[in-house]
Amino acid sequence: MYTGNYTGTYDESKYNQIKNRDNDGYTTRTVKTNSATDASGNSYTTSVSNDKLTNNDFLNLMIQELKLQDPTKPMDSQRMMDSQLQMSTMETNRAMAASMEKLVATFNQTSLSNATNLIGKNVEDVNTDENGVSKAYSVLSVETLNGEMVVKARQILYYEDVVKDADGNRLAYDANGFIYNEDGEKTGQKIVLKNPGEIAVDEDGKPVILDENDEEVAEHDFVYEGMTTPVYSSEISTIPFENITKVF
């Protein structure tokens, strides 16, 4: 049984270096330590908390505490090694998490760059209209929203038959067939529609035009050349990238 006196050798400069303290003993970074005093009056650290502590810091602390331990009450080396293993595991996990974050950021940036090819194109998503037809949109922009890739687009409501006058100017008419002049005012005439945007033609293939009394206009200069153009919604829709089912 040990009956002699124990005197620990305490090197303040080395201890400050390990603890990341300056020459006056003040910490140089945020470190929270809990200490205790052994039977011989020697102070030792029971716990250390700091998000920036590394495995090397822990090893240095362990070596210093082993030097200062009371031989009659040696520290539990297995507990120290278990703590070191836990710290090493946490460091590995943090490094892996940081690497994964960088990988995800790179992947998102690459995906965003590739997705910009959709701008100006038409897409369909999982939604359908009252007739069960997939809704179509014209893509305006691509962006990430809350970590999710989305497109900003205007819905294509329907396709409108293009009708022109004698001068080759496009005839402006709405979903009800009302015709508008260049100032955006109703002319009083209507173009007969089968469906929104789909005109009715006579036996000569000319658009059917009605006057303000809903009487058919026999003589007019409007012509239909078989072309169509999309009519867009005034609202901008946000569509998750994963919901896109078709690009055209």
Supply the mean pLDDT for the chain.
79
* Portion of the chain with pLDDT greater than 90, in percent: 44
pTM reported for the whole predicted model: 0.53
* DSSP states along 45-91: EEEEE-TT--HHHHHHHHHHHHHHS-TTS---HHHHHHHHHHHHHHH
Q: Which two tokens stand for residue 49?
A: 């908390």
Residue 105 is predicted with a pLDDT of 60
Mean pLDDT in residue range 227-233: 95
12: phi then psi, degrees, rounded to nearest 5? -65, -40
Q: How confident is the model at residue 98, as a pLDDT?
A: 75
Q: What is the largest CA-CA distance in the chain?
A: 127
| Mean of pLDDT values over 218-232 | 94
Segment 161-173 mean pLDDT = 95
Closest listed residue to residue 61, CA positions, set 73, 45, 72: 45
Q: Tokens 């005093």 — which residue?
A: 37
Q: What are the distances in angstroms from CA 95 to CA 86, 99, 222?
A: 14, 6, 71
pLDDT digits (tens, 9 = 90+) for 99-148: 777 666 666 566 666 777 889 999 999 999 888 889 999 999 988 888 78
Does residue 18 or residue 164 have the better pLDDT? Answer: 164
User: What is the arithmetic mean of pLDDT over 72-101?
Assistant: 70
